[in-house]
Chain A
Amino acid sequence: AQKVTQAQTEISVVEKEDVTLDCVYETRDTTYYLFWYKQPPSGELVFLIRRNSFDEQNEISGRYSWNFQKSTSSFNFTITASQVVDSAVYFCALSEVRDDKIIFGKGTRLHILP
């Protein structure tokens, strides 16, 4: 069965520091998708990125970047020059092609201190 592990429960950094959120996944499928979602203090869940198992290119979007490594089953998320508005809970998720479930990790609560 698929599994997503976010070992970092809570992280605090000072504004403008870089921070990396770890995500490790388990799957028996060769075709799957990985996602990151953000949950700000207001509570809604916001999609950030999707990556399929055949695309190991790193992705950068502004201050956000994602590093996908199949060899270590990891899909890590880095925020560069963090800002207070980045404070949120971040979830990593996994979807297998042969299964309709979409499974989430336990989330990492990120505090950006001014």
Chain B
Amino acid sequence: NAGVTQTPKFRVLKTGQSMTLLCAQDMNHEYMYWYRQDPGMGLRLIHYSVGEGTTAKGEVPDGYNVSRLKKQNFLLGLESAAPSQTSVYFCASTINSFSGANVLTFGAGSRLTVL
């Protein structure tokens, strides 16, 4: 099993360009999350989804949009990239989180640089 796969792994963008990060999981997980990791800031939740067709805002949602059209995929979009969005992005999934008990499975991360 591949687990959680993120594409692309690396990307360089110019300010104002748009792009989409794809997260795919093959574990039939209901819940999916996007985090960003910046030095000294830890992992901050951008958006998350509790099932196909649903999305919700996390701690730092501004400048990002997400979609969950298929259960296995969770897309993170940057409509107009800014240098402040330079970061490492992690996708994670879990079976469901209604009890809060489920452990996250993380992707390998996507390093995005905005010039």
Contact = CB atoms under 8 A, between A and B. Distances in A.
* Residue picked from B31, B35, B88, B106, most chain A C-beta under 10 Å: B106
B90 interface: yes
Contact of A44 (B50, B59, B101, B108): B108
Interface residues of B, number: 27
Interface in B32-85: 33, 35, 40-45, 48, 50, 56, 58-59
A96 B40 contact: no
B42 A91 contact: yes
Contacts of B42: 6, 91, 104-107
Contacts of B90: 45
Given A104-B43, A107-B43, A50 B103 contact: yes
A100 B40 contact: no
A37 B40 CA distance: 16
B1 interface: no
Contacts of A32: 100
A101 B43 contact: no
